[in-house]
A and B are shown apart, each in its own frame.
Chain A
């Protein structure tokens, strides 16, 4: 094919890139937002967000008020998970505290608590849980169960000591956590956040780029042949690609210095993953661009197809395995899911391409397919214009 040597291609793409760059550079507001805000956000997120469930407000209604019951209650306070919301003096008070939200959980200790325990009789303790936030409620219940189990174990130990039986622990479970021994939320959130940010910058900016030309009637710029159209599209998106790369570099640096989130694996592979992912995201953006007629529509499509799904479907925050099968299939549509595998693989697990080549391949295919469809559509529209 004449004119499609690498030299010629770069010669044609360069002015487009330069023009696009100039336009972007003049738009100080957007630049500021694209470069600085992600870093700032990441800072705040790393600092403020974690998955730990603590400070659960607990109300207690102690009908027994013995040393045993007090010891029982202390177990909760000492656990570090609960904040004592107050001591109620009636069931009605407990209800009120739960209804008003003053307490998230409540323990009601029966009057015959210590009496039964002394007589080696099982005793039932009421636990009331505000289930509105199921996540914290589940964790809280888990803690409560564990604390009660521990208390019972203590009773058992004393019992066995009394009877002169040797106490031992039948099964000793040793949990060992790989990749993130402290289970630090930051290590989990930050790689995913990078993907999130990149996805946003790439998709939404490119989604508007072509539509803008449509609205302003400058579509004639786009050339006649599909390959040339592709060149132009790529040329348009390169500046955003570069900006997104810079942004991600900043986020990585910030994550490393402030939150100790380092890259265990090869940095080079990390960037390969990022570039491929960006291509896929750009492809998605351009695809949207080719379908939308106004910038308003393009923006909405971009947001709805990238922000929310990325946030919720890509496994970023919610584990995909817990979702219905259909959705697990759907989650394959957003390239973010695969990118997260790659980025977590490199950053946290120190893995190499053998582990995630499939994901890389998928993103590449996604990129090519979306770019091709976008180019086709835009060409068709240009012809009709």
Chain B
């Protein structure tokens, strides 16, 4: 329809004419992805640690070296007395403190249990948890070695058996959190751009007054809607292309699945975000309101509850049902699976279906409200 064509052309012209908007809609997502791709890492490495070695023997130094050699810990400072630890942990210089008693080597030789203290800064619960876990493993291994050494010294034919795990990691062999996070960031950036652009675009016309001028012409409501949805879908698709390129070639995140599928699913997702944007535009009178609603009503809940960072399985059961209403949840799953598992429609269809159902519902509600508001 020619009218829709004209509406699309106008919208795109307006978008592209504003230099800043051009930048924001196209370049900013890429930059965001670039920066956040690096930042979004939950890998716990080089945990800064303070060591108070009361023994200072070769044995205790060897013990400490187990920590540093693992790669998980980095000794920030060595202190002489436990009192000096407070300063470091308070400032946040060190997350952990290892306190080795003066009797360390003596106890080990005499086969006495050595009490080694590990102090952790609990304010960063997640990292502390993981760090303590690593520390415990290292200590257990060390203990085991001591025991085995001891056993070797006693005359006997055999040693106790051990169960040795042979670990194989699928889909993300190096367990880099980036491979997990980057697809998530892609999704997030896409959502922000499309949702923002749509909701504000409609409200802006209302605010300026051009909406009235449009309404007086033969333009029908559905044409208006399409005239708003289609341009931003196109922008969204361009953004998807950019971020895909960056993900694959800059961050080396594997894209094992079909790129067409990614575009297709992105379309479904954008359907959702555009619907939400349209919906917001029917509630908000001013662009400021639109922004408030978008932010607090959608972005923040989506970021926290969609499984972007906090896994859904760990949420209370009752709450997990609520997350079914979040389109981000499905799309994250889909994108991650396509990227890392190379999944196809045969495994993706439930999530895709979720997106479709949600999208159609949201769009319908939004369009109905839009029509009503016009009349």
Name the contact of B297 in the complex, choosing from A33, A117, A131, A156 (C-beta under 8 A). Answer: A33
Other A-B pairs, 12, CB within 8 Å; known A120-B160, A178-B120, A183-B128: A29-B283, A47-B316, A55-B313, A122-B163, A149-B141, A173-B135, A177-B120, A178-B122, A179-B122, A185-B125, A187-B122, A296-B21
Interface stretch, picked from A224-232, A249-257, A322-330, A376-384, is: A322-330
A29-B289 CB under 8 A given contacts A120-B159, A179-B123: yes
Across-interface contacts of B132 in A (CB, < 8 A): 175, 177
Interface of A is mostly: helix
How near does chain B come to A21, taking the closest CB pair, in angstroms?
A: 15
Q: In the bound complex, do residue A49 and residue B135 qualify as a contact, i.e. CB atoms below 8 Å apart?
A: no
Q: Does B127 contact A (CB under 8 A)?
A: yes
Q: Does A135 contact B (CB under 8 A)?
A: yes
Most buried by A among B35, B128, B165: B165
| CB nearest to A324 among chain B residues | B38
Q: By the criterion CB–CB under 8 Å, are A145 and B160 in contact? A: no
Tell me which residues across on chain B come within 8 A of A179, comparing CB atoms. Answer: 121-123
**10 smallest beta-carbon distances between A and B, as pairs:** A180-B122, A131-B172, A159-B160, A51-B126, A177-B122, A188-B125, A170-B146, A131-B169, A295-B287, A120-B158
Stretch at the interface among A268-276, A308-316, A367-375: A308-316
Cβ 8 A contact of A296, one of B162, B200, B337? B200
Q: Is A148 an interface residue (CB 8 A)?
A: yes
In the bound complex, residues from chain B placing their C-beta under 8 Å from that of A90 are none
- CB-defined contacts of B32 to chain A, threshold 8 Å: 304, 308
Determine whether A385 belongs to the interface, using a CB cutoff of 8 Å to chain B.
no
B204 near A294: Cβ-Cβ < 8 Å: yes
Give the residue of A34, A196, A297 whose beta carbon is less than 8 angstroms from that of B292: A34
Q: Is the CB of A139 within 8 A of B175?
A: no
Cβ of A273 to closest chain B Cβ, rounded Å: 15
Q: How far is A176 from B118 in the complex, measured between Cα atoms in Å? A: 6
Which residues of the partner chain B approach A260 to less than 8 Å between Cβ atoms? Answer: none
Closest to A52 in B: B314
Q: Considering the chains assembled together, what is the distance between the CA atoms of A143 and B134 in angstroms? A: 10
A69 → B minimal CB distance (Å): 10
Contact, CB under 8 Å: A323 / B123? no
B92 contacts chain A at the CB level, 8 A cutoff: yes
Asked whether any CB of chain B lies closer than 8 Å to the CB of A301, the reply is yes
Q: Is the C-beta of B176 less than 8 angstroms from some C-beta in chain A?
A: yes
Interface presence of A365 (CB below 8 A): no
Interface membership of B171, Cβ < 8 A: yes
Which residues of chain B have C-beta atoms less than 8 A from A364's C-beta?
Answer: none
CA–CA, A98 and B43, complex, Å: 23
B171 CB contact (under 8 Å) in A27, A130, A160: A130
Q: Quick check: is A355 within 8 A (CB to CB) of the other chain?
A: yes
Q: Could you say which residues of chain B place their CB within 8 Å of the CB of A307?
A: 192, 295, 299
A308 to B151, CA, bound (A): 55
Query: When chains A and B are docked, how far (Å) is the Cα of A184 from the Cα of B285?
Result: 41
Chain A, range 108-156, C-beta contacts under 8 Å to B: 116-117, 119-139, 141-146, 148-149, 151-153, 155-156
Q: Is the CB of B316 within 8 A of A149?
A: no
Residues of B near A45 (CB, < 8 A) are 304
Q: Does A205 contact B (CB under 8 A)?
A: yes
A48 contacts B by Cβ under 8 Å: yes
Q: Cβ of A258: which chain B residues have Cβ within 8 Å of it?
A: none
Q: Is A38 an interface residue (CB 8 A)?
A: yes
* Chain A minimum-CB-distance residue to B127: A319
A2 at the interface (CB under 8 A from B): no
In the assembly, what is the distance between CA of A204 and CA of B91, in Å?
31
- By a CB distance below 8 angstroms, the chain A residues around B316 are 47-48
Q: Name the distance in Å between B349's Cβ and chain A's nearest Cβ.
A: 12
Q: Is B18 an interface residue (CB 8 A)?
A: yes
Binds A, one of B106-114, B240-248, B363-371: B106-114
- Check A53 against B311 for contact (C-beta < 8 Å): yes
Interface size of A by CB at 8 A reads 129
Complex Cα distance, B311 from A246, in Å, reads 31
**Contact A323 to B196, CB < 8 A, known contacts A131-B171, A179-B123, A212-B288:** no
Seen from chain B, the residues whose Cβ lies within 8 Å of a Cβ on chain A are 18, 20-21, 24-25, 28, 32, 35-36, 38-48, 63, 89-92, 108, 111-130, 132-137, 139-144, 146-147, 151, 154, 156, 158-173, 175-177, 179-180, 188-189, 192-193, 196-197, 200-201, 204, 207-208, 283-289, 291-293, 295-297, 299-301, 303-305, 309-311, 313-316, 319, 336-337, 340-341, 347
Min Cβ gap B93→A in Å is: 10
Nearest B residue (CB) for A349: B90
Q: Is A241 an interface residue (CB 8 A)?
A: no
Task: Give the shortest distance, in Å, between B8 (CB) and chain A (any CB).
Answer: 17
Complex contact A99–B341 (CB within 8 A): yes
Q: Which of A131, A170, A173, A301 interacts with B136 by CB under 8 Å?
A: A173
Q: Is A6 interfacial (CB 8 A cutoff)?
A: no
Tell whether A242 is near chain B: CB-to-CB under 8 Å: no
Q: Nearest B residue to A314 by beta-carbon distance?
A: B39
Given that A27-B286, A139-B130, A348-B123 are contacting pairs, would A304 and B204 also be in contact in the complex, using a CB cutoff of 8 Å? Answer: no
Q: How far, in whole Å, are A165 and B167 apart by their CA atoms in the complex?
A: 32
Using Cβ atoms and an 8 Å threshold, which residues of chain B touch A267? none
Given A27-B288, A308-B188, A355-B90, A327 contacting B35 (CB threshold 8 A): yes
Q: Are A142 and B134 in contact (CB under 8 A)?
A: yes
Q: Considering the chains assembled together, what is the distance between the CA atoms of A184 and B365 in angstroms?
A: 40
Q: How far is the CA of A115 from the CA of B256 in the complex (A)?
A: 41
**Residue contact A300 to B24, C-beta cutoff 8 Å:** yes
CA distance A119 to B91 in the complex (A): 53
Whether B160 and A135, one on each chain, are in contact in the complex, defined by CB atoms closer than 8 angstroms, is no
Tell me, yes or no, whether A11 is within 8 Å of chain B by CB: no
**What residue in chain A is nearest B156 (Cβ atoms)?**
A163
B45 touches A187 (CB 8 A): no
B209, chain A: closest CB distance, angstroms: 11
CA distance A165 to B160 in the complex (A): 12
Residue of B39, B169, B283, B285 near A327 (CB, 8 A) is B39
Distance A175 CA – B144 CA, assembled complex (angstroms): 19
Note all chain B residues with C-beta closer than 8 A to A331.
Answer: 39
Q: Are A48 and B305 in contact (CB under 8 A)?
A: yes
Contact of A138 among B112, B130, B139, B304 (CB under 8 A): B130
- Chain B: minimal CB distance from A172 (Å): 5
Closest to B133 in A: A142
In Å, the complex CA distance between A278 and B223 comes to 44
